Amino acid sequence: MEFENSLAFAEAMDANDELAHFRSRFIIPEKDGEEQIYFLGNSLGLQPRSTQKYIQHILDDWGRYGVEGFFTGKTPWYHYHDQLAYTLSLIVGALPHEVVVMNQLSVNLHLMMVSFYQPEGRRNKIICEAKAFPSDQYMFETYLRHLGLNPDEIIIEIAAREAEYTIRTEDILHAIEVHKNELALVMFGGVNYYTGQVLDLKTITAAAHQSGAKAGFDLAHAAGNIPLLLHDWGVDFACWCGYKYLNSGPGAVGGVYIHERFHHDISLQRLGGWWGYDKEARFKMEKGFKPVLSAEGWQLSTPSMILFACHKAALEIFEEAGLEKLFMKGQQLSNYLLYLLNEINSRSKNKSIDILTPQTEAGKGCQVSMLMLKDGRKIFDELGKQGVFADWREPNVIRVAPVPLYNRFKEVWKFAEVMRNCLKFKV
């Protein structure tokens, strides 16, 4: 697409956007009666207007039926999960029974380690990205220490090459080949939280399996952001949160994918709980854990129906909008932003911004990460004063993510104008 740096062009894009009306389904932050530019869907998605209604349904049934709400009413809580799994399976490219909605991200990562990290002798190494998001870093560190292992001896971190910002797939594959005889697990973030780089999960999975290792991914910044085909790629497991691109609220319930080849393997190590027990016999309270023979067999506790209600409100919008259209618009929004930022650099005497995010559609989603070469914190603070919700990451990176469900091309153009003025006047 040929872009133009003009308000008229941005408004024309919005006028021709068949997803534009979904913006009205969300509550947009305002200041002094004016809608702000919210580019933080990669951190906390906005609230769907229907969320309050779905929460109220749960409260009404709780008040009307008490504990019988699990089995009575229009949406009995005992089967509420069934209303979530199908749409989520489309979002992550899985079969519905391979997806379970439960807990939060870090808890789920620990649970997956129980099942999918089984060190045996010298086959105990883990390959991951350097400076991974803390959910991954701290999980690895503490889980390995729990097993009596030294993280410094087990974890092999893959970093970007010197003078580069993103990780090369060839370097990941090389590390897998070098350590193939001692490798137990390969686990990366599907989209790097710092740079916005999309990793080649299909290729990484195939290489991990060829080496005899398991392949798992943290999809916190990928689910709802980029197309995923976890089942077809043969990924062993994946975890994600629901509060970023999935718009399900602060501290939202998380999700897990587990390939169906593991569902009937009752010898697989796991931590059992009441809610993961065989549904037909759950209320017999018998000794001996018998898991549900699906991803639901990894559940532990009775879930929060209020969190489920928030998730339902958001997922219904995804299904109504259509994933292919959403992913296409997300790419267009970030492509337009990159076009405008590159133009700012080309017209400046001194380059002010290094773009960390790959500028190919296969290498990015909605997020664009900017390394500010001068006065980064001052510029970030000024963006906030001008009504832009952006994100600061030390030492000098500004992250933004125009998302397809509620952001507009006009907002992308306005953001670039604010950025241009900030750099021009050296705030």
Q: What are phi and psi of 18, to 5 degrees?
A: -75, -10
Structural contact between residues 77 and 305, judged by C-beta atoms closer than 8 angstroms: yes
Question: Measured between alpha carbons, how far is 289 from 273 in angstroms, rounded to an integer?
Answer: 8
C-alpha 98 chain-centroid distance:
17
149-154 contact pairs (CB < 8 A, 24+): 149/119, 149/124, 154/119, 154/124, 154/125, 154/126
Structural contact between residues 23 and 405, judged by C-beta atoms closer than 8 angstroms: yes
User: Looking up tokens 């080496």, which residue turns up?
Assistant: 211
- What is the chain's mean pLDDT, rounded? 96
Q: Which pLDDT belongs to residue 194?
A: 97
Helix axes 7-15, 409-425, angle to 10 degrees: 160
Which secondary structure element, helix H or strand E, spans residue 170, and what is its range?
Answer: helix 169-178
User: Each residue of 238-250: pLDDT tens digit?
Assistant: 999 999 999 999 9
Question: pTM for this structure?
Answer: 0.96
Question: Measured between alpha carbons, how far is 101 from 299 in angstroms, rounded to an integer?
Answer: 8
Name the DSSP letter for residue 76: -
Question: Measured between alpha carbons, how far is 46 from 52 in angstroms, rounded to an integer?
Answer: 13
Percentage above 70 pLDDT, the chain: 99
Question: Measured between alpha carbons, how far is 382 from 165 in angstroms, rounded to an integer?
Answer: 26
The sheet carrying 353-355 orders its strands as 353-355, 368-372, 397-400, 391-393
User: Each residue of 206-235: pLDDT tens digit?
Assistant: 999 999 999 999 999 999 999 999 999 999
The domains found in the chain, sorted by start residue, are 7-35+322-422 (3.90.1150.10), 54-320 (3.40.640.10)
Which residues touch 21 (CB under 8 Å, ≥6 apart)?
Answer: none
Structural contact between residues 263 and 294, judged by C-beta atoms closer than 8 angstroms: yes
**How far is the CA of 371 from the CAs of 113, 374, 399, in angstroms?**
34, 9, 9
Indicate if the alpha-carbon torsion angle 420, 423, 424, 427 is positive or negative: positive
Structure tokens at 267: 């010898």
Amino acid at 29: P
Which residues touch 321 (CB under 8 Å, ≥6 apart)?
Answer: 19, 22, 404, 405
CA angle (144 as vertex; 139, 146 as ends), nearest 5:
95
**Strand-strand pairing, 37-38 and 388-389:** parallel
Structural contact between residues 100 and 275, judged by C-beta atoms closer than 8 angstroms: no
Q: Which pLDDT belongs to residue 267?
A: 86
| Residues of the chain below pLDDT 70 | 425-427
Question: Measured between alpha carbons, how far is 181 from 30 in angstroms, rounded to an integer?
Answer: 56
Which secondary structure element, helix H or strand E, spans residue 202, and what is its range?
Answer: helix 201-210
Structural contact between residues 180 and 340, judged by C-beta atoms closer than 8 angstroms: no
Q: Which pLDDT belongs to residue 427?
A: 46
C-alpha 252 chain-centroid distance:
12
Coil, strand or helix at 334? helix
DSSP state string for 103-135: S-HHHHHHHHHHHH---BTTB-EEEEETT--HH
